[in-house]
Amino acid sequence: MERWVIVTLVTAGYLALSLVIGWVSGRKASNTVTGYVAGDRDFGLLVMYFVMGAMMFSAFAFLGTPGWAYSRGGAAFYVFSYGLLGFAPWYFLGPWVARVGRRFGYVTQAELLSDRFKSDLLSWLIAVVSIVAFIPYIALQMKGAGIVFNAVTDGKVPIWIGAAAAYAVVMLYVLKSGVLGVGWTNTFQGIFMLVIAWTLGIWLPNQLYGGIGPMFERLADLRPELLTAPGLDSSGAPWGWGAYSSAIIVSAIGVTMWPHLFMKAFAAKNDNTIKLTMVFYPTFLLFLLPLYFIAFAGVLFDPKPVSADFILPHMILNTNVAPVVIGLFCAGALAASMSTGDAMLHAAASIYVQDFHSKLFDRKLSDHSRRTLIRVVAVIVGVVAYSIAVTTQMSLVSLLLAAYGAIVQLAPITVVAFFWKRATAAGAVAGLVLGSITTLLLYLNPELRPFGLHEGIVGLTVNCSALVVFSLLTKPTAAEHVDAFVETSRRAD
């Protein structure tokens, strides 16, 4: 049998198994919005750990970060730091979010914030920002899946078919099972990609250099500039410490604020589930190690890949790996893409219905209609993202970075929601809007950045100042309401 046929069969087998797991897992959920969006707030430790971990390990982690390690060396180490710093606050924030969610019935981040500040405007703003950030992100995941499938089948499976196959499966289990489908498939996909990554990450350097140590010894002799931070920039010149350090801080804040992270906190069974998830979460970061090993193994390897992002599939395809293993690798990469894409697809649709549609057009929407609407929107979002993925070549990343910049700006509001009772809706909206505009402006006009600081940091400074000034200038939010919110968040169950 030809290599690409075996690879395709193995991958198809993985997709079938994902579908079965995703389909079956939804049977337990209740027929409510809480059941569909927050899994009836009943996620245990195992599922929670893999949901959080696999959700963050996207197609970008599987292809992009090894690409960084390969072409920019130590620059890629920043991912370890921001991953760790970004999740640490969730040890405390997670239980608070979950408690107010249980008490007041929130299933999304915007519901939490707009209810705390009693502002529908805030809800719409957050919904728009989140969805604008999600769609290019989902498109990138789809494209990633298609590209890997295409590469490992020697170009026999076109990108559009690969992406369609993977995301048809995702769509089916998201529609059928909601967040439970996302949870259990992420568990399966997470275990799958961990096993594949570690096996290949240890085997490949052994095969090529006789071990990880000997590999780095040779790199230390031949390419020492790749083995220390801050490594190189994208043009191959030494990268600056300022850029390296501020990238860590801004990315960490951004990770903390992802709306789908909030939504999964609402799904946790109890405080201990979230806390233990956060205790174990850093182990997921170590999963980058084997991927980096493979990438570093590629540095002294010939032939070279067409682009740095292809380093992983390139190494797998050119080192006499058995076709079945190539298939498993492809499935692992698809798992990374799908376990992120499914959570985002589900989150985007839920956010649209809960935070935008039902607040703007129809407040009296029944629970049943909401669930139907979420499914309809999920299909629309999927189709839009897919069309973007297969048609556009370009600045997806720019759109993504712009929206991501706005997501970072949710951080001050979220912190004051739990800490500063005097913060008001006007302050929150002003902070969010001015902070986002500043970020966008500096992103588009880098020459205006003071001291070359990251645009997100400048945006946050403007954001915090506006938040304080506008809050103090406006009437306080009803004390009873704010007290109930803050006290609920602190009360352990």
Cα–Cα distance, 217 to 230 (Å, whole number) = 20
Cα–Cα distance, 271 to 444 (Å, whole number) = 42
Closer residue to other proteins (CB): 276 or 325: 276
Applying CB under 8 A, does 167 fall inside the site for other proteins?
A: no
Which region, judged by CB under 8 A, interacts with other proteins, from 36-44, 101-109, 217-225, 311-319?
217-225
Interface with other proteins (CB under 8 A), residue from 13, 210, 211, 236: 211
Site for other proteins in 110-139 (CB under 8 A): none
Closer residue to other proteins (CB): 155 or 213: 213
Which region, judged by CB under 8 A, interacts with other proteins, from 43-51, 177-185, 206-214, 388-396?
206-214
Closer residue to other proteins (CB): 87 or 329: 87
Site for other proteins in 26-85 (CB under 8 A): 74, 77, 80-81, 84-85
Give the phi and the psi of residue 409 in degrees, each rounded to 5: -70, -5
Cα–Cα distance, 416 to 11 (Å, whole number) = 47
CB of 79 to other proteins, least distance (A): 9
CB of 69 to other proteins, least distance (A): 10
Contact map string, positions 221 to 250, toward other proteins, x by CB under 8 A: ---x--xxx-----------xx-xx--xx-
The H or E element containing residue 14 is helix 3-25
Closer residue to other proteins (CB): 159 or 285: 285
Q: Which two tokens stand for residue 134?
A: 């999600």
Q: In the 3-class helix/strand/coil scheme, how is 454-489 assigned residue by residue?
A: CHHHHHHHHHHHHHHHHHHHCCCCCHHHHHHHHHHH
Closer residue to other proteins (CB): 128 or 249: 249
**Total site size for other proteins, rule CB under 8 A:** 43
The DSSP string of 88-120 is TTHHHHHHHHHHHHHHHT--SHHHHHHHHHT-H
CB of 213 to other proteins, least distance (A): 3
What residues contact 2, with CB distance under 8 A and at least 6 apart? none
Task: Tell me, rounded to whole angstroms, the distance of Cα 359 from its chain centroid.
Answer: 26
Contact map string, positions 289 to 318, toward other proteins, x by CB under 8 A: x--x--------------------------
Task: Tell me, rounded to whole angstroms, the distance of Cα 355 from its chain centroid.
Answer: 20
Cα–Cα distance, 245 to 240 (Å, whole number) = 9
Closer residue to other proteins (CB): 121 or 484: 484
Burial label, 17 (beta-carbon count in 10 A; 0-12, 13-18, 19+): middle
CB of 460 to other proteins, least distance (A): 15
Nearest to 244 by CA among 82, 436, 70, 412: 82
CB of 242 to other proteins, least distance (A): 7
The DSSP string of 377-391 is HHHHHHHHHHHHHHH
Applying CB under 8 A, does 417 fall inside the site for other proteins?
A: no
Q: Which two tokens stand for residue 490?
A: 């602190």
Applying CB under 8 A, does 336 fall inside the site for other proteins?
A: no
Q: How far is CA 386 from CA 311, 328, 442, in A?
A: 25, 24, 30
Interface with other proteins (CB under 8 A), residue from 222, 286, 322, 324: 286
Closer residue to other proteins (CB): 231 or 431: 231
Interface with other proteins (CB under 8 A), residue from 216, 325, 390, 441: 216
Applying CB under 8 A, does 199 fall inside the site for other proteins?
A: no
Q: Which two tokens stand for residue 277?
A: 């998830």
Which region, judged by CB under 8 A, interacts with other proteins, from 126-134, 174-182, 191-199, 216-224?
216-224
447 DSSP assignment: G
Applying CB under 8 A, does 94 fall inside the site for other proteins?
A: no
CB of 259 to other proteins, least distance (A): 23
Contact map string, positions 255 to 284, toward other proteins, x by CB under 8 A: -----------------x--xx-xxx-xx-
Cα–Cα distance, 123 to 119 (Å, whole number) = 7
Bridge partners, residue 232, by sequence: 238
Cα–Cα distance, 67 to 388 (Å, whole number) = 23
Contacting positions for other proteins (CB under 8 A): 74, 77, 80-81, 84-85, 88, 91-92, 95-96, 211-213, 215-217, 220, 224, 227-229, 241-242, 244-245, 248-249, 272, 275-276, 278-280, 282-283, 285-286, 289, 292, 490-492
